[in-house]
Structure formats: C-alpha cells, structure tokens
Homo-oligomer: A and B are copies of this chain.
Amino acid sequence: MEQARIVIEGVTPQVDAGRFAVKAVVGDALEVAADIWRDGHDKLRAEVLYRPVAPDEWQAQVGPVPADAKREGWQWVEMTTAYETNDRWTATIPLDTMGLYRFTVRAWTDTFASWRDGFEKKLRAGQDVSLELREGEALVELTRSHASASSGAALERLLGAIRATAFVDRRCEMMLADELLVMMQKLDPKLDAQLYEFECPVWVDREKARFGAWYEIFVRSQGTVPGRSATFHEAEARLPAIAAMGFDVLYLTPVHPIGRTFRKGKNNSLVCGPDDPGSPWAVGNEDGGHTAIHPDLGTIADFDHFVAEARRLGLEIALDFAVQCSPDHPWVKEHPAWFKHRPDGSIQYAENPPKKYQDIYPIDFETTDREGLYRELLAVARFWIDHGVTILRVDNPHTKPSSFWEWFIAEVHRRRPDVIFLAEAFTRPKRLARLAKVGFTQSYSYFTWRNTREELEEYAKELFVGDHSRYLRPNFFANTPDILHEYLQKGGRPAFIVRLILAATLSPTYGIYSGFELCENTPLHEGSEEYRDSEKYEIKVRNWRAPGHILTHVARVNEARREHRALRYASTLRLLESSDPNILAFAKTTPDKRDPVVVVVNLDPKTVHEGTVRVPGDLYGGSDSDWYRITDLLTGISYTWRGERNYVRLDPDVMPAHLFAIEQR
C-alpha cells in the first residue's frame, strides 16, 4: 500500500525509455521536461537532479537505471511551470564535461506556499483566520524541527517574534512576509518528495561530434608521380591546401597493407594487373594487418609525423576502421577461429549469392573465441588512438552485431570520451538508427539521394526535428568514393555548388570526398553511381587547380560556418516558405535565437528560378514594414530587405544559392 500523491511522468528527453543515451555536446544547456502534478489543489515544487557518471559506473548504462536520490554527486536545477503548459514542468541543465550524465526529476508539495495561498484568499475575503494562523505557525514549527540548529535559528527567531505579537493583524502580516516564504522553501524538509523512477542517460561529446567539416582522401593519391603511391611524407604537402579550404577533419581511407589474393584490378575488375594497387578495404597481407602501415606509404613514424602536421594546421585525423580481412591478413593464420571454415577446410569468403567477393574474408562473430576477437578489435582501435587518431570512420558496421559496437564504443569511451565514431551504415532506416542508439557519434545518411525540395524538406524534418534528433547526428557527405549521384553527373558545376551548400548548411557536420571540389562527375557507366576509373582500385594524380573547380565556394562556405554560430546547430533549423518549388529556403539560429542565417538554394542546376521567400519577423526582429540588412556570405554583397517576403532570383550559372547573414534589428 505505497501511496504516492505526486505523479512524475512523460520525462524527456529519453531514447527508448532510458535504454539508450540522449546525445549532447559540451556547453549545451539541455532542456528537461516532465508532467508533474498531485491530486488536490496543493502547490508543488520540482527540480532536475543531474550528475556526471564516472566510467566505472557505466555498466549500468544498459537498461533503465532505477533512480536513487541518495547517490553521490547530484547537482540540481529548479523546474518551473505555467498554467497554460498543462502540468508540464521544465528546467535546463548545463553539460560542462565530456562523458556520461544521468538526470532524474524530483518533486514535493510546497505545503507552506499552499497554506499561504489559502490564508491570503481567506484574509482578503474577510474570513476569520485564527485557526489558519495556528496551522501556519505549526508548519513553521515543523520545518524548524527538521532544520539543523544553525540553519533553523533564523526561523526560530521569526516564529518567536510572531508568537510574541499580540495583534492578529500584525501576526498575519508577518506570516505573509516574503522573507518567511523564502526561508520556508529553502529549509523545506520535502517530506513527501517523489522521485521519478529512472535515471535517464545523456552522452556528452566534444563539440566536434556535432560540428565539423570533413575532407576524405586516399593518401596514396596525394602525390605527383602518376602510377606511384604517394607517401605520407609527400601527402603532407597537400595539407596546407586542404586546411586553406577550411576543413577541420581529414578522413583517410585505410592505410594498411593490401591483400594480393583475388585482388581487384582497375574499375573493380576481377583481373588484376601486376601494378594494380588493390582496394585499401582488402586489409592485410604478409606486411601486416590492421595495425600496420602500407609500406608504400611509409612507416608508423611517418604516419605520426603526418598526424602531427595535420593537427598543426587544424586538421584532425579520421581513420577508416574496416572489420574484415583479405585472405592474406595475418589473422587468418594466427586466429583461424575468427573465420568460418567450410567442409573442405577452406575459409568462407564474402558473398551475396550468386555474387562472390573472394578478396574478402568476413570476420565470423559466431567464433568460439569471441573474447579474443573483441579484445583484438579494441586493441586495434586503441593502437590508432595512441597514434593520434581521434575519429574512427567505421566501414559497414551494420554487418556486425550492434551489441558488439555497444560494447566496443563504451570501452573506447571509458578511457577516451573524446573519440568520435562515424557509422557508414548505408542500410535500412531502423538499422541505421540502432547503431546511433548504441553509441555511434555520427551516421552517414541518405542525404545524397535527397535532391528535390520535397525530399530535402521531409528528410530535414525527420533528422533535425523528429525523434531522431535526440540521438542520431547525420554527417552529410556530398559524395563518397562509392556514391556519385546522378544529380552531380548531370547537373555539372552548379549542381556541385548546390550540394556543397546544402550539405554544409543543413547539417552542422558535412563532408566531401576529394575531387568533389574539382566537380569530377564521370560515372562508371550510365545508370551507375560508381566513379569511372575509381580511386578505390588505382592511384590518381590530380590537378588540384583544374579549371572549373569550386575551391572558392568551399572556402567561403567553411568560413561562414566558422563565423556564424547558427550553423553549428541542427535542431534550430526552420524551413521557410518559398513561392518557387525549385527554391528551397531555410533558416538557422543559435539556440537563444541569435545570429540568424538564411539559406536560399535554386535546386535546378539548369534553369534560372525566381520568387519570394518568407523570413518570419522574429528572425530579423521586426514587423512586416521594417527594413533590415542582409549580407550574402558567398559573395560578400549586402542587400536591404523589407518585411517578411522578399524577392530572390538565382541563376545557376552565376551562383545557385544565397547564404545570408541577417543583422537583427
């Protein structure tokens, strides 16, 4: 016969009822909300309790953790409500450090304020309040009796003064004094305090987890001699140009020795020439496996130097983490139990019947040596982290158990909460979402396949406004070595500018794969999304200033991202009305509604489109007759706009988009 008069429910934010963590970054103020009420008319108070959780307590991360107010280290923020919010209370909690936080909610009856409210009303109605006066004094006495001698002393003095007063009017006045209310609320013993059942997890990353500009390269293609792999040393020469474009993450496709058995030739051919370098994703040969450097690239010392040089230029290194082996990988001999053996003793290669991928041996997660496998994969990650890699871009995580990733990411984060994991999970939506839930910091998305206004608006809403936004952070890659979308193939240079601006402004984290800035757009064949002469199977040497490049656009967009804090956030996205169906318009601000940026894009790379775009008055801080100044960050040109609806005209051959910063009135 437990009796709880206070109900606390509908606590947000949560993911799957506390099974997984909500994501945030250091410096965020997280809004916590709950439905809180009790039967009857008494007034309530409520607070959010929150605390960072030490790594050795993380085991409890799986499944809802029963709330325990007696745990050490709670901090708290008082919650507030309003009549109109229908029993919904809110507070924001500051998230100051990386790692796991938990929060819960506590509420209690504010008995004294409830008494005071009724007392005041009765006084005002001229009713006899002598009994009420005694009841109020009893409440003060009760609170005093629960307070320590020192903290209760002031209350005791006040109570003594009230009782020593002969005049009822004066006593009423003293009982209604704000000073007494404040004291009573401060010393409230919270005798009926009710705690929400669970502690809800929040994972706090560093800001780069949400906000970053990525550039993807094959290190071997960063040289100048055709047909020969660049070394790390040579590739260092490219770093200043990459940094000058304004990127801050440099993602390296695998840098390990490449298998020889069934190695793929140019354009994914089954026939491999003697000089064909092979796909870097066929990891491992006699020179080593996942912790080795391809000899053509140099040594681990060269790698370290490259990483240090990149960092000096403001570039973090993201490394590919592909859990699969070439048939020549050392693990095949050293850990045969990690692979599936067929009745003739051969090892099962990758297949999607009737297709065979004989250059790849998948890891068999049903291995009898699961412990050994898990430990080794963790050791690989820690090896590279110790060598300065702070971001792991995980290849095809959806073909491995999500429960493995949950363990793996937690183990890495236990020592290094700063490490960022990007999931390359081009799979069905719920599988992609699950990987985000179990811990992946970021996810590749379906952005490349969303090109019309309707598609983009719907997808942006799903990602940035809906439930997904609590735990899934998309990384909008405009292209990848596997995906050259038809829009780019057919739309030419304006299409590249459009997709660059969309990726870099819709999502706080975006990326391009090198060659994008040169508008490379030749597919393997009509209808294919693969590149012709793909860098996956051969070494490329490019003219990085080839005519038609969009280096300036890339640099300007990245500069705008750095200078306008609005572009660091996803959840402040607002889609704007636009009269032309080819023109997409949206706005972003900081969470406190400052620094408005308005993006207007003509999605048709072939035709001029014009029309009006509506910028709601609260964005520029004025009414429909007010003038305000906007500056296009792509061109540096300023305009004066008036009111909510203004005219735009976008010629794709000149500039297919505006990226406006608005000066708020």
A residues within 8 Å of B by Cβ? 1-5, 7, 9-10, 16-17, 35, 37, 39-41, 63-64, 86-87, 117-119, 121-122, 124-125, 127, 131, 134-135, 138, 197, 342-344, 346, 351-354, 365, 370-371, 374, 398-404, 407, 428-431, 434
Contact = CB atoms under 8 A, between A and B. Distances in A.
A30 B328 CA distance: 54
Given A39-B398, A127-B354, 7 more contacts: A4-B401, A7-B431, A9-B16, A9-B434, A10-B430, A118-B353, A121-B354
Nearest to A63: B197
Nearest to A191: B366
A437 to B, nearest CB: 9
* Top 10 A-B pairs, shortest CB-CB distance: A17-B17, A125-B354, A118-B353, A121-B353, A134-B343, A4-B403, A5-B401, A35-B430, A87-B430, A121-B354
Contacts of A135: 342-343
B430 A86 contact: yes
A1 B124 CA distance: 68
Chain B CB within 10 A, most for which of A41, A403, A428: A403
Contacts of A344: 131
A40 B403 contact: no
A58 B1 CA distance: 14
A401 B39 contact: yes
B399 A39 contact: yes
28 contacts: A1-B371, A1-B374, A1-B407, A3-B370, A3-B401, A4-B402, A5-B365, A5-B401, A9-B430, A9-B434, A17-B17, A35-B430, A37-B430, A39-B398, A39-B402, A63-B197, A64-B64, A86-B428, A86-B429, A87-B431, A117-B353, A122-B354, A127-B354, A131-B342, A131-B346, A135-B342, A135-B343, A138-B343
Nearest to A346: B131
A369 to B, nearest CB: 11
A125 to B, nearest CB: 4
Given A118-B351, A351-B118, A429-B86, A403 B127 contact: no
A402 B6 CA distance: 9
Nearest to A2: B403
Contact of A354 (B9, B124, B134): B124
A401 B6 CA distance: 8
Contact of A400 (B39, B352, B403): B39
Contacts of A365: 3, 5
Contacts of A407: 1
Contacts of A118: 351, 353
Q: Count copies of this chain in the complex.
A: 2
Contacts of A2: 403
A127 B64 CA distance: 50
Nearest to A407: B1
A551 B17 CA distance: 51
Nearest to A62: B2
Contacts of A131: 342-344, 346
A66 to B, nearest CB: 9
Contact of A7 (B35, B353, B354, B402): B402
A429 B344 CA distance: 68
Contacts of A35: 430
Nearest to A1: B374
A444 to B, nearest CB: 16
A308 to B, nearest CB: 35
A270 B346 CA distance: 96
A17 to B, nearest CB: 4
A587 B111 CA distance: 50
Contacts of A10: 430
Contacts of A17: 16-17
Contacts of A351: 118
Nearest to A135: B343
Given A197-B63, A370-B3, A371-B1, A37 B431 contact: yes
A293 to B, nearest CB: 29
Given A131-B344, A354-B121, A7 B86 contact: no
A41 B431 CA distance: 13
A9 B344 CA distance: 39
A197 to B, nearest CB: 7
Contacts of A124: 354
A16 B138 CA distance: 40
A41 B5 CA distance: 51
B353 A122 contact: yes
A641 to B, nearest CB: 36
B7 A434 contact: yes
A41 B351 CA distance: 10
A352 B351 CA distance: 75
A73 to B, nearest CB: 26
Nearest to A340: B135
A119 B353 CA distance: 8
Nearest to A119: B353
A10 B430 CA distance: 10
